[in-house]
Amino acid sequence: MHSILRDFLLSFCPAGIRRQRRPGSQLTVLRSATWGGLAQFLLAAFILVMRLKSHFVLRAQQLGPHIAGSNETGQAIIALIVVLDFLIHPVSLLVLYLAIEGFIRFAGALITGQIVPNMLVSLYFKTADSVTRSSARRRSPLPTADIAERLEGGRIRISSASQKTGWNSSITVGIGGQWFEVESEERGAPPRAFVYILRPASPGKVLRGYQEYDAAILDSTKAAADADPS
């Protein structure tokens, strides 16, 4: 019984959720989508008709004195206006959508064997996933910034937490308008385990590959060193 109820609820869910939470029987899910869609259509259509009937009665009482003696064309126009007035109400639009969606779910499952999810359920899972991703991004630690230091002879040492893609002897690195080449790569202490020693590029070097490095990192490191009283 629990498995049948679970499969019935999964018939309203998007495909991604059904892949994560495997149903007990795909056939049960398909049948649930078929008859669940039909029930949704009939219930929403019944509510829509009852609301429209109440709306007509209310408008007839309000407009009765004004339409007395009108011909059939005038009455038809007023009836059309009353229907449009009913349909522009948010609740009426929602119930109408649920009726149409229920029919599509019923026809899709019956004719093509496709399970069409419910819009409100899909919207719930998308919102929940978005909130979860946002919370995970806020909890995740900030990436470790590079440390760049100037050495003798115009060389620069860059300590990084991640390996620099393509930084080898053939790459040219631009920093603050100057060109550098990789002199050596060393292993450093975590978390900055990748250490690169750059030297000024030799005159007339053939440019085989080029990457620009943010000079602000070098400037901020220098400023922090100058501010350190030790």
Mean pLDDT by runs of 10 across the 230 residues of the chain is: 82 86 86 92 93 81 63 70 82 91 93 90 90 81 85 92 90 92 92 94 85 82 54
Residue 103, class by beta-carbon neighbours within 10 Å (0-12 exposed, 13-18 middle, 19+ buried)? middle
Domain edge (last residue) among 115, 139, 163:
139
Q: Where is 186: in which H helix or E strand?
A: strand 178-187
Separation of alpha carbons 84 and 71, rounded Å = 20
Domain edge (last residue) among 139, 161, 185:
139
> Same structural domain for residues 103 and 211?
no
> Same structural domain for residues 13 and 80?
yes
Domain edge (last residue) among 79, 112, 139:
139
Domain tally for the chain?
Answer: 2
> Same structural domain for residues 17 and 127?
yes
> Same structural domain for residues 53 and 110?
yes
> Same structural domain for residues 173 and 109?
no
Look at residue 208 in the predicted model and tell me its pLDDT.
85
> Same structural domain for residues 109 and 43?
yes
Dihedral angle, C-alpha 78, 79, 80, 86, nearest 10 °: 110
> Same structural domain for residues 94 and 70?
yes
Name the residue range of residue 165's domain: 147-227
Q: Give the predicted TM-score (pTM) of the model.
A: 0.53
Look at residue 74 in the predicted model and tell me its pLDDT.
64
> Same structural domain for residues 38 and 124?
yes
> Same structural domain for residues 123 and 17?
yes
Triad 192, 197, 200: Cα angle to 5°: 145
> Same structural domain for residues 62 and 163?
no
Separation of alpha carbons 222 and 169, rounded Å = 26
> Same structural domain for residues 109 and 56?
yes
> Same structural domain for residues 71 and 113?
yes
